[in-house]
Amino acid sequence: MALKWGSAPAATVVMARDPRFLPSPKGEPGRDSGQGISSGIVAGFLVVLVLLGALTVLALHAVTEANQRLERIAENHNVKTELATTMHNALRERALAMHAMPIITDAFEKDAMAQYFHAQGVVYMEARAKLQNMPLSQAEQTILARIAALTREAQPEVERVVDMATFTDDSDAIFERIRSVAMPRQRAIAREVNQLIELQREQTAKALAQARSSYQAVRTLLLALGTAAVLVGLTVAAFVSRRVAHQAGLLARQALYDPLTGLANRCLLQDRLSGEIAQAQRQSTSFGVVLLDLDHFKEVNDTLGHEVGDEVLREVARRLVGTVRGEDTVSRLGGDEYVLLLHGLAEKNAQVVALKILAALDRPFVWQGNLIDLGASLGVALYPAHGEDASSLIRCADIAMYAAKRSGRGWALYSTEQDRLGRADLSFRSELREAIRNDELVLHYQPKIDLHTRRVVGLEALVRWDHPVKGFLSPDRFILLAEQAGLIGALTEWVLERALRDLVRLHHDGHLLHAAVNLSARSLHDLGLPASIETLLARAGMAPDHLMLEITESAVMANPSDSLAILTELDRMGVRLAIDDFGTGYSSLAYLKRLPVDEVKIDKSFVLDLATNESDAVIVRSTIDLAHNLGLSVTAEGVETQDIWDTLTILGCDCAQGYHMARPMGLNALRQWLRTSPWAGGENAASQVLSP
Ligand SMILES: Nc1nc2c(ncn2[C@@H]2O[C@@H]3COP(=O)(O)O[C@H]4[C@@H](O)[C@H](n5cnc6c(=O)[nH]c(N)nc65)O[C@@H]4COP(=O)(O)O[C@H]3[C@H]2O)c(=O)[nH]1
């Protein structure tokens, strides 16, 4: 399968439009905006603090000033009013004394009244003098000047009346004088004094009005500043709350969406799954859960790097979103595992949808001009038939997915039979993983004999599993499982490492043989394989031409471009290559010409009946001829009898492997065999090799 970068613009649009698929912002959204928020808050509150500080200072200043002014005004006007009142009272007392004197007959009382009259004059003069010494307004000065003038005018008249009252008894004349001369003058002075008092009252009222208006101004200023502070505070609060809401949105997105693909993550999937279950339960409908896993993603990641791997995951996400309906949910659980919730899916539609999804992922996928070979397997579980809660549905979809992988069909609908097989598979898989780690695997070696010299020239390493319960297991029982479980890389590495170690030992024993190791189809996806083999060879100190790698033609055909690249690199390193099981596949012979192989191994199915089956003989003969024409050597597998040996010799085959010469055996048995077998030039050589 090949995917083209950016080849699904429609899907991209869907993801960008649908908030379910909006990708999260890259990087660390929390830190920068967090700093921005803090500085925004600090700056905002500093402004508010400065405003409030200025407000307080201004208010205090204004209030103090207004108070002082009021105090001054009140003090001045109180004193002036008091002095004017004193003057007014003194005038009144003098007038009363003036009126009393003519009617007092007792000389002593008259004299006392005259003294009282004069004393009130002193009081009046003193009050007037004090007033004149005070800071005076123009109006006050004018009034006081008028009072002084009137006083000067009235004084002699009043004095005369008092003298008349003191020295004569003509009260009528005295009263007449008082009424006509003295009192009008006294009243004129009193009017002026009253005017002075009235002026004080007016000035106090004016000062109060002024104070009131300056209070008003201060209040307006305070109100303006207060409003400004509140506005700044509100702006800061709005800014902060917007940023906090934005931040909360980001956190919610991180919590619910996969940052790489923008798809729903496990958490949101769980939520949607619960929602789907509730809805389907209410409406008595069904829906589907699809678990999808990319088949060769690990190889893409390992060989092309994580950036390419990430791009593949994003492209897969876009395609899935573009394939399913708007009401469906597409999520990524992590790695290359996707889960889709298909709203309202019924069993009869499962196949159509599964094939549609597989078809979407089957479109060409190109990276920098290279085809990337991916495959997907998906399992479908249905609500309520296969499970009524989220975890059962996911588990069933998972089991179905493994069944799909096993069957190679690409998709499977859950069944209880899969469950049983799946469980067994699951434990077998983890046992195999442990077996590789704990050296429970064993290598057997089958000698390869040169048909011309009749001597062993090489060995084929064949792996077995010494299972603690099931006993010795042949590779047919676990190689496919290792491939499906992603363990084939580890297994191949173990076999290569062990085979090279054993070969070093055999070389030390003097047997300069080559060892052949089988590579699985999956290994031909691993572009890093040549480098690992180079490392293993260097570690073992083994020349590359002592290692032969056997690959099947179907493995090569499954991924021609990567296989060719890997084989070319191995050939450049000097490692020998053989096409195994030749004849069983459907590769064109012309294609064989392009591969840098050294040898063809004819499958035993053509060899076992070679001596008796004419058509097998024709196939073997043509294969030998063709291989020789291409400059390749030929090994026949499954040589069980002397007749087959003889026929192969006649047909010009180069090497043979089979039970007739030796069965696969463990290292110790092999060393013994190499010491004793005639095929190895051992002790029994003469008798056995010559015998027909
Ligand atoms: N009937 C008959 N059979 C004969 C005769 N001579 C050899 N054989 C069997 O033929 C198989 C030859 O290996 P293969 O074609 O590479 O086929 C191998 C190979 O494809 C795979 N295999 C074995 N070891 C490994 C390994 O380390 N890695 C990988 N990827 N595959 C392996 O498992 C397959 C089976 O291996 P084995 O069970 O060991 O089976 C071996 C061997 O025991 C004979 O005269 N008659």
Instruction: Quick: pLDDT tens for 592-625.
Output: 778 899 999 999 999 999 989 999 999 999 999 9
pLDDT band at 546 (very low <50, low <70, confident <90, very high): very high
CA distance 105 to 114: 13
- Within the chain, what is the greatest distance between any pair of CA atoms? 196
Distance (angstroms) between ligand 1 centre and the Cα of 672 equals 22
Distance (angstroms) between ligand 1 centre and the Cα of 520 equals 12
Which ligand 1 atom minimizes the distance to the CA of 637? 6
Residue with CA closest to ligand 1 atom 7: 658
Could you tell which of 518, 549, 581, 607 is best to mutate to test the pocket of ligand 1, judged by most ligand atoms within 8 Å of the CB?
Answer: 518
CB of 151 closer than 8 Å to CB of 94: no
Q: For residue 38, what pLDDT is reported?
A: 63
Distance (angstroms) between ligand 1 centre and the Cα of 475 equals 7
CA distance 304 to 334: 19
Taken in order 268, 274, 276, 279, the sign of the CA dihedral is negative
Collect all residues with Cβ–Cβ distance below 8 Å to 252 and sequence separation of at least 6.
none
Most confident segment among 76-85, 124-133, 635-644: 635-644
Give me the half-sphere count of Cα atoms (radius 13 Å) on the Cβ side of residue 222: 14
Q: Is the pLDDT of residue 5 over 60?
A: no
Q: Is the pLDDT of residue 25 over 50?
A: no
Q: What rounded mean pLDDT belongs to the chain?
A: 85
Pocket lining: 637 vs ligand 1, CB cutoff 6 Å: yes
338-364 mean pLDDT = 93
Q: Is the pLDDT of residue 11 over 60?
A: no
Q: Give pTM, 2 decimals.
A: 0.52
- Here the tokens at position 617 are 């003989």
* Percentage of the chain modeled with pLDDT above 70: 90
ipTM over 0.90: yes
202-223 mean pLDDT = 79
Distance (angstroms) between ligand 1 centre and the Cα of 462 equals 6
Pocket lining: 581 vs ligand 1, CB cutoff 6 Å: yes
Distance (angstroms) between ligand 1 centre and the Cα of 375 equals 27
Does 453 or 223 have the greater pLDDT score? Answer: 453
Q: For residue 109, what pLDDT is reported?
A: 86
Does 364 or 285 have the greater pLDDT score? Answer: 285
Q: For residue 21, what pLDDT is reported?
A: 36
Q: For residue 36, what pLDDT is reported?
A: 58
Q: Phi first, then psi: what are they for 587, rounded to 5°? A: -70, 145
Q: For residue 645, what pLDDT is reported?
A: 97
pLDDT band at 17 (very low <50, low <70, confident <90, very high): very low
Q: For residue 447, what pLDDT is reported?
A: 98
pLDDT band at 588 (very low <50, low <70, confident <90, very high): low
Q: Is the pLDDT of residue 551 over 90?
A: yes
Pocket lining: 635 vs ligand 1, CB cutoff 6 Å: no
Pocket lining: 555 vs ligand 1, CB cutoff 6 Å: no
Q: For residue 3, what pLDDT is reported?
A: 33
Q: Is the pLDDT of residue 24 over 60?
A: no
Q: Is the pLDDT of residue 686 over 70?
A: no
How many beta carbons lie within 10 A of that of residue 190, not counting itself?
A: 18
388-415 mean pLDDT = 90
Does 332 or 161 have the greater pLDDT score? Answer: 332
Pocket lining: 472 vs ligand 1, CB cutoff 6 Å: no
Could you tell which of 533, 637, 639, 643 is best to mutate to test the pocket of ligand 1, judged by most ligand atoms within 8 Å of the CB?
Answer: 637
651-656 mean pLDDT = 98
pLDDT band at 35 (very low <50, low <70, confident <90, very high): low
Which ligand 1 atom minimizes the distance to the CA of 495? 27
Pocket lining: 604 vs ligand 1, CB cutoff 6 Å: yes
Distance separating the N- and C-terminal Cα atoms of the chain: 53
Query: Out of 25-39, 78-92, 495-509, which region has the weakest mean confidence (pLDDT)?
Result: 25-39
Query: Out of 52-61, 412-421, 431-440, 516-525, which region has the weakest mean confidence (pLDDT)?
Result: 52-61
User: Alpha-carbon dihedral of residues 137, 139, 140, 141, nearest 10 degrees?
Assistant: 90
Question: What angle in degrees, to the nearest 10, is found between the helix axes of 29-100 and 183-256?
Answer: 170
Q: For residue 218, what pLDDT is reported?
A: 73
How many beta carbons lie within 10 A of that of residue 421, not counting itself?
A: 15
User: CA of 421: how far to CAs of 250, 399, 403, in Å?
Assistant: 44, 9, 8
Could you tell which of 462, 533, 600 is best to mutate to test the pocket of ligand 1, judged by most ligand atoms within 8 Å of the CB?
Answer: 462
Pocket lining: 197 vs ligand 1, CB cutoff 6 Å: no
The strands making up 3-4's β-sheet, listed across from edge to edge, are 3-4, 365-367, 370-371
Q: Which amino acid is at 312?
A: V
Q: For residue 651, what pLDDT is reported?
A: 96
CB of 651 closer than 8 Å to CB of 620: yes
pLDDT band at 229 (very low <50, low <70, confident <90, very high): confident
Pocket lining: 640 vs ligand 1, CB cutoff 6 Å: yes
Distance (angstroms) between ligand 1 centre and the Cα of 638 equals 10
Q: For residue 27, what pLDDT is reported?
A: 30
